[in-house]
DNA sequence: CTGTTAGCGCCTTCAA
DNA sequence: TTGAAGGCGCTAACAG
């Protein structure tokens, strides 16, 4: 079933059907006939033919490091929500944290396939930036901020400030930090600098032994790092963790060591993942608006595709602190199980 | 840059270049020349032209209810891993638990776009089944089992048996169950029937007031249902929850009621989500192999596409019980934070 | 082993 | 307002 069949059945030319389908320079009478035939036959134009002819694919590509990461899934959820309201569809490339594959998909998408790309980046190499800066198609970097690349980023530095500040307000004097690799600009560098800066602004000492780098993004990595700090023997009364999952590991480690949260040590982190409000103790954490960030990135991308504006835009998302039990706060009325309280 | 440019530069015909790109009925000498030109120019064939010509799209569609659900994300992760090893790419449709949209995407994919579909279903209506059974293209149902539709499903019934049996082995005599809507065959009907059957086989009484249906898949829904059972006043010493997230809500509710897990009440559930081994108490849960199920579905689909075998295949995934603190078990050596023990 | 050729289905001038 | 016609880039006979 193709356009010429429809044309024949409706007694018009293929050009008229095509106009009907697109712009609409068609008399009311013929419109009726065409509409009727299309409904009766259930005809849908071939997207590959349309693409071949117009060069437009109606496809956007998303490159993610790991779809089974909660924050990544939230961002993708946001993107798909926005995209679903347009005529675009989403091509998903899940690289499994493999940097080489990221580059491959970046190239693959550029050469063919898609009208635009959302790239959820973690470790940005020179190669990544080179490709992105010379990309022929609209591309939005999501979750990281880099010069000369349109990006939707999260306020990692500010989030760390909020989380650290919260510890200080709780009376913590000796604050530890569980960080991640500095090669990750957002989670590593930005959050660490927010932490450092806040301590300095409050004239608190930064003890080297109280900063430990986690080997990865697993709870176990957080527990190992926490243990390392415990082993150092330097006393502390607060811990700022670079991510919730690390905080869970850290709290677990503290529990095993017989240290209670928040009575002896307060804990904060960043991400406000789903379990943060369910864990025991409920975790004080900073929400970065991952889902909204995804929506924003999707909207900007579609706008760039449709208006051909390659203008750089850098958008930072709001972040917000949720104070919970791990810093001694009581659960808010609005969240958790208010039904029961 | 198209195939005829390459042909001209290499001094051969387009057909030869095409053969080089596909089957390869080309002399060694011309192969060399073509390879050289392609590398120099960075040429990639236009996938839309290929699709138009061959009818093959090299695209598979995945329809999911909610990408930000952990189990769904795991399945998608599995699918993408398998698909990445082929020449196919993945089109993701995230319906946001909207049944109408599921049907729309099912049709959209059928009419155009894709060579095959993996459908992660939850609530299967007559319409769903009708469309799937008359689908012109290979389609795999993932996570549910239905007659006349190729499917990769999880052993929900058996998982419930394992989880319930575990409670009985722990000495529980009055076991409650937090279930979900029976319209969800896998999570609702199958898990409930596994629970019922196990009680009967063990000559244990099923008390109506000890079975409560959760309004949804949120921790809060689990907490509300648990509270309803508490309010009934009927004593119980074990709870089997239809899903981990429900169990977290239930445990939270019990904690607020001053009931300790596992000392007074043992808790088990199904999903073995990431937090199950991190929660406090660590949650005894049955793993359904979501990720492996995704890989299986992807592999079967690609096989069906490539071999044209529309033969039905029904594959059930393995399930496995992980006994943890919520039923009084000590953490296994192999999981959790063995580094610290 | 290689080149010529005829479309795949659609959109888009151009002329009417 | 409409129809005729060319061609997007590629593949698969077919003939050599």
Q: What's the whole-number mean pLDDT along residues A45-61?
A: 92
Whether the pLDDT of residue A56 is over 90: the answer is no
What does residue A38 show for φ and ψ, rounded to 5 degrees?
Answer: -60, -40
Cis peptide before B281 (omega within 30 of 0): yes
Radius of gyration of chain A (CA): 26
Token pair 């660490």: residue: A192
Residues of B in contact with A96 (CB under 8 A): 77, 81
CA distance A293 to chain B (A): 14
Q: What's the whole-number mean pLDDT along residues A79-92?
A: 94
Radius of gyration of chain B (CA): 26
* Non-local CB neighbours of A284 within 8 Å, separated by 6+ positions: A163, A166, A266, A267, A268, A269, A321, A322, A323, A324, A325, A326, A327, A329
B219: nearest CB among A66, A249, A278 = A278
Indicate if CB(B314) is under 7 A from strand C: no
pLDDT tier at A311, thresholds 50, 70, 90: confident
Whether the pLDDT of residue B312 is over 70: the answer is yes
Indicate if CB(A52) is under 7 A from strand D: yes
Query: B234 near B207, Cβ under 8 Å?
Result: yes
Whether the pLDDT of residue B337 is over 70: the answer is no
A308 in the Ramachandran plot: left (φ > 0), alpha (ψ -120 to 50) or beta?
A: left
CA distance B203 to chain A (A): 34
CA of B167 to C1' of D12 (A): 64
Q: From CA B138, how far away is CA B135, in angstroms rounded?
A: 7
Query: A269 near A179, Cβ under 8 Å?
Result: no
3 state DSSP class of A94: strand
Quick one: tokens of A85?
Answer: 């309201």
Indicate if CB(B9) is under 7 A from strand C: no
CB contact under 8 A, B67 and A66: no
CA of B53 to C1' of C2 (A): 21
Whether the pLDDT of residue A330 is over 90: the answer is no
What pLDDT, in 10s, does the model give residues B197-256? Answer: 999 999 999 999 999 999 999 999 999 999 999 999 999 999 999 999 999 999 999 999
In the beta sheet, which residues pair with residue A178?
Answer: A212, A241
Q: From CA A29, how far away is CA A110, in angstroms rounded?
A: 43
Q: Which residue has the higher pLDDT, B336 or B140?
A: B140
Indicate if CB(B41) is under 7 A from strand D: no
pLDDT for res B331: 63
Q: From CA A25, how far away is CA A11, in angstroms rounded?
A: 16
Q: From CA B158, how far away is CA B77, in angstroms rounded?
A: 24
Residue A311 burial (C-beta neighbours within 10 Å; 0-12, 13-18, 19+): exposed
pLDDT for res B333: 40
Indicate if CB(B21) is under 7 A from strand D: yes
Query: B195 near B160, Cβ under 8 Å?
Result: yes
Lowest mean pLDDT across A295-299, A306-310, B219-223, B323-327: A306-310
- CA distances A143 to A186, A216, A315, Å, are 7, 18, 10
* Non-local CB neighbours of B291 within 8 Å, separated by 6+ positions: A68, B74, B75, B77, B78
CB contact under 8 A, B280 and A113: no
Q: From CA B37, how far away is CA B17, in angstroms rounded?
A: 10
pLDDT for res A336: 47
Q: pLDDT exceeding 70 applies to what percent of chain A?
A: 96
Query: B50 near B56, Cβ under 8 Å?
Result: yes
CA of A38 to C1' of D3 (A): 20
CA of A18 to C1' of D5 (A): 15
Query: B26 near B81, Cβ under 8 Å?
Result: no
Indicate if CB(A13) is under 7 A from strand D: yes
Indicate if CB(A87) is under 7 A from strand C: no
Query: B268 near B322, Cβ under 8 Å?
Result: no
pLDDT tier at B338, thresholds 50, 70, 90: very low
CA of A25 to C1' of D2 (A): 9
**Average of per-residue pLDDT values in chain A:** 92
Q: From CA B63, how far away is CA A135, in angstroms rounded?
A: 30
This prediction has a pTM of 0.92
What pLDDT, in 10s, does the model give residues B126-153? Answer: 999 999 988 888 999 999 999 999 999 9
* Residue B50, nucleotide of least CA–C1' distance: D10
Q: From CA A35, how far away is CA A46, in angstroms rounded?
A: 17
Q: pLDDT exceeding 70 applies to what percent of chain B?
A: 96
Whether the pLDDT of residue B339 is over 50: the answer is no
Closest C-alpha among A108, A14, A237, A216 to residue B47: A108
* Residue A22, nucleotide of least CA–C1' distance: C11
What pLDDT, in 10s, does the model give residues B88-135? Answer: 999 999 999 999 999 999 988 888 779 999 999 988 889 999 999 888
Closest C-alpha among B320, B237, B179, B223 to residue A278: B223
> Strand C: which of residues 24-53 in chain A lie with Cβ below 7 A?
45-46, 49-50, 52-53
For the four alpha carbons of A27, A29, A35 and A38, in that order, the dihedral sign comes to: negative
Q: What's the whole-number mean pLDDT along residues B146-173?
A: 96
* Residue A5, nucleotide of least CA–C1' distance: C9
pLDDT tier at A26, thresholds 50, 70, 90: confident
Quick one: tokens of A145?
Answer: 């901020």
Q: Which residue is nearest to nucleotide D8 (CA to C1')?
A: A53
Nucleotides of D under 7 A from a protein CB: 1-5, 7-13
In the beta sheet, which residues pair with residue A267?
Answer: A239
pLDDT for res B55: 87
A133-147, B38-52, B282-296: range with highest mean pLDDT: B282-296
Quick one: tokens of A214?
Answer: 């986690």
Query: B158 near B194, Cβ under 8 Å?
Result: yes
Q: From CA B184, how far away is CA B190, in angstroms rounded?
A: 9
pLDDT tier at A84, thresholds 50, 70, 90: very high
CB contact under 8 A, A223 and B337: yes
**What does the DSSP 8-state code read for residue A123?**
B
A120-134, A147-161, B7-21: range with highest mean pLDDT: A147-161
Closest C-alpha among B48, B157, B255 to residue A341: B255
Mutation to test the B interface, candidates A57, A65, A89, A267, most B Cβ within 10 Å: A89
Residues of A in contact with B47 (CB under 8 A): 112-113
- CA distances A250 to A224, A272, A295, B103, Å, are 8, 16, 32, 45
Quick one: tokens of B275?
Answer: 């937090």
Query: With helix as H, strand as E and coil as C, how does chain B read?
Result: CCHHHHHHHHCCCHHHHHHHHCCCCCCHHHHHHHHHHHHHHCCCCCHHHHHHHHCCCCEEEEEECCCCCHHHHHHHHHHHHHHHCCCCEEEEEECCCCHHHHHHHHHHHHHCCCCEEEEECCECCHHHHHHHHCCCCCEEEECCCCCCCCEEEECHHHHHHHHHHHHHHCCCCCEEEEECCCCEHHHHHHHHHHHHHHHHHCCCCCCHHHEEECCCCCHHHHHHHHHHHHHHCCCCCEEEECCHHHHHHHHHHHHHCCCCCCCCCEEEEECCCHHHHCCCCCCEEEECCHHHHHHHHHHHHHHHHHHCCCCCCEEEECCEEECCHHHCCCCCCCCCCHHHC
pLDDT for res A331: 63
CB contact under 8 A, A337 and B44: no
Query: A325 near A331, Cβ under 8 Å?
Result: yes
What does residue B197 show for φ and ψ, rounded to 5 degrees?
Answer: -60, -45
Cis peptide before A281 (omega within 30 of 0): yes
* Non-local CB neighbours of B23 within 8 Å, separated by 6+ positions: none
B76 in the Ramachandran plot: left (φ > 0), alpha (ψ -120 to 50) or beta?
A: alpha
How many angstroms separate the first and last alpha carbons of chain B? 61
CA of A107 to C1' of C12 (A): 31
Whether the pLDDT of residue B295 is over 90: the answer is yes
Nucleotides of C under 7 A from a protein CB: 1-5, 7-13
Whether the pLDDT of residue A335 is over 60: the answer is no
């Amino acid at each position: 079933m193709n356009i010429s069949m429809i044309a024949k059945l409706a007694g018009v030319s293929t050009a008229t059907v095509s106009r009907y389908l697109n712009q609409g320079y068609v008399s009311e009478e013929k419109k009726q006939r065409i509409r009727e035939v299309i409904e009766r036959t259930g005809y849908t134009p071939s997207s590959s033919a349309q693409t071949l002819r117009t060069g437009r694919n109606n496809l956007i590509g998303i490159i993610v490091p790991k779809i089974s990461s909660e924050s990544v899934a939230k961002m993708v959820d946001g993107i798909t929500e926005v995209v679903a309201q347009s005529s675009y569809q989403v091509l998903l490339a899940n690289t499994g944290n493999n940097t080489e594959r990221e580059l491959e998909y970046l190239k693959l998408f550029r050469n063919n396939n898609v009208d635009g790309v959302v790239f959820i980046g973690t470790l940005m190499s020179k190669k990544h930036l080179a490709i992105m800066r010379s990309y022929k198609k609209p591309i939005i970097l999501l979750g990281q901020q880099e010069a000369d690349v349109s990006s939707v980023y999260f306020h990692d530095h500010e989030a760390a400030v909020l989380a650290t500040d919260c510890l200080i307000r709780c009376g913590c004097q000796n604050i530890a930090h569980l960080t991640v690799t500095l090669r990750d600009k957002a989670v590593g560098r930005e959050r660490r600098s927010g932490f450092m800066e806040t301590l300095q602004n409050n004239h608190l000492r930064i003890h080297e032994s109280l900063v430990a780098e986690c080997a990865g993004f697993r709870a176990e990595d957080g527990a190992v790092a926490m243990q390392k700090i415990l082993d150092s023997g330097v006393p502390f009364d607060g811990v700022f963790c670079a991510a919730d999952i690390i905080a869970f590991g850290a709290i677990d480690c503290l529990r095993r060591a017989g240290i209670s949260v928040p009575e002896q040590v307060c804990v904060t982190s960043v991400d406000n993942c789903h379990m943060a409000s369910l864990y025991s103790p409920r975790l004080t954490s900073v929400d970065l608006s991952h889902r909204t960030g995804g929506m924003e990135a999707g909207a900007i991308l579609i706008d760039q595709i449709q208006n051909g504006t390659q203008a750089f835009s850098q958008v930072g998302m709001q972040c917000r602190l949720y104070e919970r039990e791990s810093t001694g706060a009581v659960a808010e009325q609005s969240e958790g199980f208010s039904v029961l309280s």
